[in-house]
């Protein structure tokens, strides 16, 4: 099938070599992909609706973005099958050259570290708010402080889940995390209709119609919320069924399900609080509401389950560095395999320790969400577009198909460049 030069069926049925030893089912891949996207960005979507000027502009931007989001996942699966690489950075390095591979590794590590810090910050904030709800009238004891609860959660839950060798195990925790995110969306929807006692209606109309350019401000939130592309290559290479057509179906179903959860949360959170909506939607609700208390606990669980996926991807970059280092080539035999426990566990401990220290000792990091979204545009748009352009040059196909794929790859790169420039400029202005 791979050698058909004129049709598209060869593209849809390409597979990685059997030597990759895949073990992940399609349903497991769908849940891991879904959970990779259902992260801390869920809390920001109601605020993004307000920032973009209302429901209609946000939905239009989200629908256009969804087309590129699904396309990017499919492209990454195809690029992995062409390059015969099993990591995102390996695919970029093989198809686009060593220089672009180094840029990808630098962006990859930077983005994943910032995402990990943001996740820990969300976990800490939810634990802190939960302690305030359980101890409303008493001064907060030492064991309820974030400096104690967050390291404890990191040691007892995050590190053991992150120390696993394969990403396939995350399908079990991803199911739990997906259900927790779904509960949050359900609670926000039900709260809007039931309007329980203690919930103050703060919805106000926009004083004036915002400029149409304000709709572009939602791009960083969408990129931050839907950023499962960093995990796409690892998930695809772990699947038993690696045909591109099947991967496209898994990608589409996971992002559509993710879009439903994000839309329910964003729409009903915005309709409930209007212009008074908080950047963290849970902070807008009263702390003594039991449904919200449960939502805080479950959402913290959700973030705990997605953190190991991010760490797994970042650790793969450090393991690639290890393979090229002198420790792997001239060191003891136990250090030659970067996925072995003597290398994997110290790298995992280092990642958790560094990100935890950044959360505990650095000031509030809420302003970097736009920067994270901007860097994410490299992995959602720019690198997939470049990989597609380079892949069609080495694959036999008809000139019309090749021209169409190159045009789509170029458009994807241009859109990603625009989003990166816009979101980075906006983040710099806010920081200044």
Q: Dump pLDDT digits (tens) for 221-266.
A: 777 778 888 889 988 988 888 889 999 999 999 999 888 888 888 8
Any bridge partners for residue 24, and if so which? 239
308-333 residue pLDDT tens: 888 888 888 888 777 776 665 666 66
Considering only residues 1 and 412, tell me which one the structure prediction assigns the higher pLDDT.
412
Confidence of residue 370 (pLDDT cuts 50, 70, 90): low
| Neighbouring residues of 199: CB distance < 8 A, sequence distance ≥ 6 | 191, 272, 285, 286, 289
Burial class for 139, CB neighbours closer than 10 Å (0-12, 13-18, 19+): exposed
Q: Which residue segments constitute the domains of the chain, with CATH numbers given?
A: 27-431 (1.20.1740.10)
As a whole number, mean pLDDT of residues 366-389 equals 79
Flag whether pLDDT at 385 surpasses 90: yes
* pLDDT for 378: 87
Confidence of residue 18 (pLDDT cuts 50, 70, 90): very low
Considering only residues 298 and 168, tell me which one the structure prediction assigns the higher pLDDT.
298
pTM of the full predicted structure? 0.80
* pLDDT for 6: 42
Of 46-60, 84-98, 190-204, 372-386, least confident by mean pLDDT is: 190-204
Flag whether pLDDT at 426 surpasses 90: no
154-212 residue pLDDT tens: 999 899 988 887 766 666 777 777 888 888 889 999 888 887 555 555 545 454 445 55
As a whole number, mean pLDDT of residues 372-398 equals 85
Give the per-residue SS3 of the chain. CCCCCCCCHHHHCCCCCHHHCCCECHHHHHHHHHHHHCCHHHHHHHHHHHHHCCHHHHHHHHHHHHHHHHHHHHHHHHHHHHHCCCCHHHHHHHHHCHHHHHHHHHHHHHHHHHHHHHHHHHHHHHHHHHHHHHCCCCCCCHHHCHHHHHHHHHHHHHHHHHCCCCHHHHHHHHHHHHHHHHHHHHHHHHHHHHCCCCCCCCCCCCCCCCCHHHHHHHHHHHHHHCCCHHHHHHHHHHECCCCHHHHHHHHHHHHHHHHHHHHHHHHHHHHHHHHHCCCCHHHHCCCCCHHHHHHHHHHHHHHHHHHHHHHHHHHHHHHHHHHCCHHHHHCCHHHCCCCCHHHHHHHHHHHHHHHHHHHHHCCCCHHHHHHHHHHHHHHHHHHHHHHHHHHHHHCCCCHHHHHHHHHHHHHHHHHHHHHHHHHHHHHHHHHC
Confidence of residue 3 (pLDDT cuts 50, 70, 90): very low
68-113 residue pLDDT tens: 999 999 999 999 999 988 889 889 999 999 899 888 888 888 888 8
* pLDDT for 7: 43
Burial class for 206, CB neighbours closer than 10 Å (0-12, 13-18, 19+): exposed
Q: Tell me which residue of 45, 314, 277, 368 sits closest to 162, measured CA to CA.
A: 314
* pLDDT for 275: 77
408-421 residue pLDDT tens: 999 999 988 888 88
Return phi, psi of residue 81, to 5°: -70, -35
Confidence of residue 5 (pLDDT cuts 50, 70, 90): very low
Flag whether pLDDT at 373 surpasses 50: yes
126-159 residue pLDDT tens: 888 777 777 766 677 777 778 888 999 999 989 9
Flag whether pLDDT at 360 surpasses 90: no
| Neighbouring residues of 327: CB distance < 8 A, sequence distance ≥ 6 | 335
Residue 78's CB is within 10 A of a number of other CB atoms, namely 25
């Amino acid at each position: 099938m791979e050698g058909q030069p004129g049709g598209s069926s060869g593209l849809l049925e390409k597979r990685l070599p059997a030597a990759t030893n895949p073990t992940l089912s399609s349903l497991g891949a769908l849940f891991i992909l879904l959970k990779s996207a259902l992260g801390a960005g869920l809390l920001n979507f109601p605020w993004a609706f307000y920032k973009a000027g209302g429901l209609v502009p946000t939905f239009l931007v989200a629908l256009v973005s969804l087309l590129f989001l699904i396309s990017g996942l499919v492209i990454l699966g195809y690029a992995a099958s062409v390059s015969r690489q099993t990591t995102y950075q390996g695919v970029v390095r093989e198809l686009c050259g060593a220089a672009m591979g180094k840029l990808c590794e630098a962006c990859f590590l930077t983005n994943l570290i910032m995402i990990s810090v943001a996740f820990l910050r969300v976990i800490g904030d939810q634990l802190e708010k939960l302690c305030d709800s359980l101890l409303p009238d008493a001064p907060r004891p030492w064991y309820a402080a974030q400096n104690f609860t967050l390291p404890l959660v990191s040691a007892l839950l995050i590190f053991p889940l992150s120390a696993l060798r394969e990403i396939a195990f995350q399908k079990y925790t991803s199911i739990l995390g997906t259900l927790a995110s779904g509960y949050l969306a359900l609670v926000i929807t039900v709260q809007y209709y039931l309007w329980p006692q203690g919930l103050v209606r703060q919805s106000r109309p926009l004083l004036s119609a915002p400029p149409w350019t304000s709709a572009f401000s939602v791009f960083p939130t969408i990129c931050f919320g839907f950023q499962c592309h960093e995990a796409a290559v690892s998930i695809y290479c772990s699947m038993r069924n690696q045909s591109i057509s099947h991967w496209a179906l898994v990608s589409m179903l996971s992002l559509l399900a993710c879009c439903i959860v994000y839309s329910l949360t964003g729409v009903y959170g915005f309709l409930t609080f209007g212009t008074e909506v908080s950047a963290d939607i849970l902070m807008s609700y009263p702390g003594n509401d039991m449904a919200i208390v449960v939502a805080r606990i479950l959402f913290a669980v959700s973030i705990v389950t997605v953190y190991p996926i991010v760490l797994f991807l970042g650790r793969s970059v450090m393991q690639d560095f290890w393979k090229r280092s002198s420790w792997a080539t001239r060191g003891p035999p136990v250090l030659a395999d970067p996925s072995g426990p003597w290398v994997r566990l110290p790298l995992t401990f280092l990642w958790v320790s560094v990100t935890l220290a950044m959360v505990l000792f650095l000031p509030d990091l809420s302003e970097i969400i736009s920067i994270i979204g901007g860097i994410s545009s490299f992995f959602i748009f720019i690198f997939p577009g470049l990989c597609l352009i380079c892949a069609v040059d080495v694959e036999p196909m008809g000139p019309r198909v090749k021209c169409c794929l190159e045009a789509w790859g170029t458009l994807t790169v241009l859109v990603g460049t625009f989003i990166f420039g816009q979101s980075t400029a906006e983040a710099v202005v806010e920081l200044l």
